[in-house]
Amino acid sequence: MDHHKALKLAHGLYFGGLILLFVAYGFLKDEPLTFSAAMIPVFLGLGGVVAGLVVTLVFVRCPRCGRSLFHSSRIMLSLPHYCPHCGAHL
Ligand SMILES: [Zn+2]
């Protein structure tokens, strides 16, 4: 998978997951300890965020040296212009 497409997919998963978590918070803020259908967006949201991280780690790689371009603990919002490992233009 191309690193540009992989980053777009990861963004969809991250931000879709975060939106689902906000929706779940809206349902659960009044009754936080009740397991109900409102827990479904919690699991889907967490799954989306984790899947976004996995896609970033596995597929967002330099096309020349193959090393991961993900090098911090925060959500990767954009690709660097150059690979931090080999200097290839991205
Ligand atoms: Zn590289």
Instruction: Say which residues have a Cβ less than 8 Å from residue 4's Cβ, sequence separation at least 6.
Output: 79
8-42 pLDDT tens trace: 999 999 999 999 988 888 877 777 666 667 678 88
29-85 pLDDT tens trace: 777 666 667 678 888 999 999 999 899 989 999 999 999 888 766 777 888 899 989
pLDDT at 35: 64
- 68 bridge partner residues: 61
Extents of the domains making up the chain: 1-90
Distance (Å, whole) CA 71 – CA 90: 15
76 CA distance to ligand 1 middle (Å): 17
CB 56 within 8 A of CB 7: yes
User: For the whole model, what pTM was predicted?
Assistant: 0.78
53 CA distance to ligand 1 middle (Å): 20
10 CA distance to ligand 1 middle (Å): 20
